Amino acid sequence: MSDTHNKEVDQISGVETTGHEWDGLKELNNPLPKWWLYLFYVTIVWAVIYWVLYPSWPLISSYTSGVLGANQRLEAIQAYDDGVAGRSEFADKIVAASLDDIAADQELLQFALANGQAAFGDNCAPCHGSGGTGAEGYPNLQDDTWLWGGTLDDIHTTLLYGIRSGNDDARIGEMPAFGRDELLSREEVSQVSNFVASRAGLETDDGVDLAAGQTLYVDNCAACHGENLEGIQELGAPSLNSANYLYGKSLEAIKAQVNNPRNGVMPAWVDRLDPATIKSLTVYVHSFGGGQ
Amino acid sequence: MSTDTETQEGAQSEDWFASAKKIYPMATHGLFRRIKWTLLFITLGIYYFLPFIRYDRGPNAPDQAVLIDMEAKRAYFFFIEIWPQEVYYLTGLLIIAAVALFLMNAVAGRIWCGYLCPQTVWTDLFLWVERKVEGDRRERIALDKDPWTFGKVRKRATKHFFWLMIAWWTGGAWVLYFNDAPTLVWQLLTFQAPMVAYIWIAILTTTTYLLAGFMREQVCIYMCPWPRIQAALTDEKALNVTYRWDRGEPRGSLKQNKKLAAEGLPAGDCIDCYQCFQVCPTGVDIRKGMQLDCIQCGLCIDACDNIMTKIGKPTGLIAYDTDENIERRIEGKEPVYEIVRVRTVIYAAIIALVGAIMLFTLLNRDFSDISVLHDRNPVFVEQSDGTVRNGYTVRLANKRRHDRSFMLHVEGMPPNTLVEAVGVEATFAGRPIVSVGPDTTREVRVLVTSPPWVKMPHSTPVTFRITESVMGEVVTANDTFKAPGTP
């Protein structure tokens, strides 16, 4: 490439120099190996071919899409659709089978549990916890305490329509705000709360008239929570004897609930998940062991 | 670029690089050549035809004697069926293979390389094709120098066609080990086989063609690690292909040596005919002594013995011998051959031991298996009646070819503990009976609930025991039962 007049050859190595010199140091001209160079040229050719075939160059608001029409987004959508199609065989069976049949069929059960576990993590875990153990205000699905029933059908219904979700078929149970709406005086709230606490095995305040509390309970609470504080599942009224209280088991928590109750909401999933997934979730939640 | 630079550079590159010399091994005949042919027939026969041997395992099981079923995750070898978790049998085989190589080395150096190595076997086969098509050493050298005439093209094309056919068959045989052979052959011929089979055939066809057709001894000399390793494994008592220079030197032509002998001057038996060098598949002159390139195949022994017979001298100028014996003969002592010595006995003992362990485990392996995984979230559940429940994921394996059921019992818990398996209705005395299909596993969720009124400690070691209902086979796995409290 360069002019051939002043080629200088290094005495020691016998290699010609580039003519560059720094403080008396001369740069030798050892060209790259041929195979290396040719491989480099191949990569350049490869890149040009790639530009033609595949999406490569960004433009102002789009990009060169390539003649093969490769599109990773479409591929991902296709892969998702393939996955759904691959599951459809089982999903159809799940939709067709009754809940008891699913629980009894080994193959369907395996699929439902796996499918349910995945769906649970996506949709239910934020409130109920990744293991279904719940939290204060969010029911524990692992234990044997069920507000609305723990049979397969009960769980299925709850999943479909939710609790106080606004869905027409949703289960609704409202506890009146006895304190806030002044149905009971401050003293009466204290009395009835202490009565419940005493029956639930909690410490009570000193000098509270428990007999008055019992009378108040029978008049105001027994209709839902039962004569013996056992709760009524049809109304979603929890047992007050249970070891597990949704909003915390303490006198303060009971007072707060009587005074200004919290009524939690579970969304209806009927419009958000497909029937097979809801059935899978039912079987999965039931398999936690608390199911009835 | 000036001329003197060019000469300088040229001189340097010649010093630095030497292109490989092409070697033209000559055909020979004799004892070791016969052994090599025999081993070639046996090993290639096994390799090419083993997949077609049938072995009846009953219904719902492949009837191929040797099969690695990737899809079903099973490996079959006649009466043995290996599950993925038993892959340690492969470890045992590899240990035996390695120690067997050490033993060979201690006995006779690189005889593996000379007789049994796939590289040697296929190169031998390719050389045979080459000789049949192009002729022996002299003709091949001439053919290489010939201009490209029609005859040369025809010979070359024929040779490469047969090479490619053998290579293709080699790749083809490989994939037959991973699928039902007759079915796969038909699929391959009708282009219905899975793509992965064609890819593997292509890869192995290419490698066979290149390695056995073109690279040959280069593989043994430059690519293979074995020549380097064997230097550490052989010793002065190992039998190596040895030129007995004590008898052969000083070498000279037949005429010259006869003349020297007549004059009473020292004359060796070696007549410098170069036969040993010309038959050598790696192009070694064995008379220079032990070399890295020598693969101990003994073809030079055959060639030299043939010559010695012709000139009326005793055979064995080149033989499997030890350096030690040459020294002993020079000193006038009897040669010694110590095949049985500490090193070989230890290697043989290791092989026997590993083999025995493998056989023992194989004969005593369970045909069922259990693995238990404790729930991590939640670790335990307190129920409203004060009982505590633990959840476990239990996987049962049935390695028999028929349906079997297992009774699950949890030991180490107080009486009246409730054990339930989700989706399992059948029970016996409160213990779930889990049925598992043939040659498969089943995962069940097992719930263990402590009895009421029993305060469980923070952690209780428990044993999951499954008892097979017919044979009474018992397998156990250990876990713990957790309860509230501090350790």
Q: Does A204 touch chain B (CB under 8 A)?
A: no
Q: How far is A145 from chain B (nearest CA, A)?
A: 7
Q: How far is A91 from chain B (nearest CA, A)?
A: 18
**What does the pLDDT average to over B56-75?**
87
Contact call for residues A159 and A279 (beta carbons, < 8 A): no
Whole-number Å distance between alpha carbons of A226 and A205: 24
Give the SS3 label for residue B411.
strand
When CB atoms are compared, the residue of A9, A109, A289 closest to B423 is A109
Q: Virtual CA dihedral for A201, A202, A208, A210, nearest 10 degrees?
A: -20
Does position B158 have pLDDT exceeding 90, yes or no? yes
Banded model confidence at residue B50, pLDDT cuts 50, 70, 90 = very high
Does position B368 have pLDDT exceeding 70, yes or no? yes
When CB atoms are compared, the residue of A103, A106, A133 closest to B377 is A133
Q: Which of B116, B128, B111 has the alpha carbon at shortest distance from B295? A: B111
Banded model confidence at residue B226, pLDDT cuts 50, 70, 90 = confident
Q: How far is B178 from chain A (nearest CA, A)?
A: 26
Q: Which of A34, A291, A13 has the alpha carbon at shortest distance from A156? A: A291
Q: How far is A40 from chain B (nearest CA, A)?
A: 24
Q: Residue B413 burial by CB count (10 A; 0-12/13-18/19+): exposed, middle or buried?
A: buried
- 3-state SS of B128-146 is HHHHHHHCCHHHHHHHHHC
Tokens of B177: 């080990």
**Taking CB atoms and an 8 Å limit, are B377 and A129 in contact across chains?**
yes
**What does the pLDDT average to over A99-104?**
86
Q: Does B393 touch chain A (CB under 8 A)?
A: no
Query: Angle A14-A17-A22 (CA atoms, 0-180°, nearest 5)?
Result: 125
pTM beyond 0.85 = no
Residue A240's closest chain B neighbor by CA?
A: B384
Q: Residue A270 burial by CB count (10 A; 0-12/13-18/19+): exposed, middle or buried?
A: middle
Choosing among A143, A230, A284, A292, which should be mutated to test the B contact, i.e. which has the most B CBs within 10 A?
Answer: A143
Q: Which of A129-143, B14-28, B391-405 has the lowest mean pLDDT?
A: B14-28
**What does the pLDDT average to over A36-40?**
95
Give the SS3 label for residue A59.
coil
Does position A210 have pLDDT exceeding 80, yes or no? yes
Query: Residue B382: its chain A contacts at CB < 8 A?
Result: 143, 243-244
Q: Which of A55-69, A159-173, B9-23, B90-104 has the lowest mean pLDDT?
A: B9-23
When CB atoms are compared, the residue of A14, A242, A289 closest to B391 is A289
**What does the pLDDT average to over A57-77?**
88
Does position A8 have pLDDT exceeding 70, yes or no? yes
All residues at 6 or more sequence positions from A236 whose CB lies less than 8 Å from its CB, including other chains: A147, A148, A163, A171, A172, A173
What pLDDT score does B15 carry?
58
**Taking CB atoms and an 8 Å limit, are B1 and A7 in contact across chains?**
yes
**In residues, how long is chain A?**
292
**Taking CB atoms and an 8 Å limit, are A106 and B423 in contact across chains?**
yes
Residue with tokens 């002998």: B261
Give the SS3 label for residue B76.
strand
Q: Which of A242-251, B131-140, B394-403, B462-471 has the lowest mean pLDDT?
A: A242-251
| Surface of A (6-25) touching B: CB under 8 A | 7, 9, 14-16
Banded model confidence at residue B353, pLDDT cuts 50, 70, 90 = very high
Query: Residue A289: its chain B contacts at CB < 8 A?
Result: 381, 389, 391, 420, 422, 445, 447, 449
What pLDDT score does B346 carry?
95
Q: How far is A155 from chain B (nearest CA, A)?
A: 16
All residues at 6 or more sequence positions from A165 whose CB lies less than 8 Å from its CB, including other chains: A265, A266, A267, A268
Contact call for residues B55 and B63 (beta carbons, < 8 A): yes
Does position B390 have pLDDT exceeding 90, yes or no? yes
**Taking CB atoms and an 8 Å limit, are B384 and A288 in contact across chains?**
no
Whole-number Å distance between alpha carbons of B229 and B110: 10
Banded model confidence at residue A5, pLDDT cuts 50, 70, 90 = low
**Taking CB atoms and an 8 Å limit, are A244 and B2 in contact across chains?**
no
Contact call for residues A98 and A80 (beta carbons, < 8 A): no
Q: Does A145 touch chain B (CB under 8 A)?
A: yes
Does position B291 have pLDDT exceeding 70, yes or no? yes
Q: Does B433 touch chain A (CB under 8 A)?
A: no
Q: Does A113 touch chain B (CB under 8 A)?
A: yes
Whole-number Å distance between alpha carbons of A278 and A95: 9
Tokens of A104: 């009894």
What pLDDT score does B5 carry?
44
**Interval A11-36: pLDDT, tens:** 777 788 887 888 888 888 888 889 99
Tokens of B420: 């339930």
Banded model confidence at residue B171, pLDDT cuts 50, 70, 90 = very high
Q: What is the DSSP string of B271-339?
A: ----HHHHH-TT---GGG-S-TT-----HHHHHHHHHHHHTT--S-SEEEE-HHHHHHHHTTPPP----
**Interval B191-211: pLDDT, tens:** 888 899 999 999 999 999 999
Most confident of A41-45, A191-195, B178-182, B443-447: A41-45
Does position A1 have pLDDT exceeding 80, yes or no? no
Does position B14 have pLDDT exceeding 70, yes or no? no
Query: Residue B422: its chain A contacts at CB < 8 A?
Result: 103, 109, 287, 289
- Which of the pair, B323 or B196, is modelled with greater confidence? B196
Give the SS3 label for residue A98.
coil
Q: Does B381 touch chain A (CB under 8 A)?
A: yes
Provide the 10 A C-beta neighbour count for residue B390: 26
Does position B6 have pLDDT exceeding 50, yes or no? no
When CB atoms are compared, the residue of B5, B384, B422 closest to A9 is B5
Does position A89 have pLDDT exceeding 90, yes or no? no
**What does the pLDDT average to over B88-104?**
92
Q: Does B14 touch chain A (CB under 8 A)?
A: no
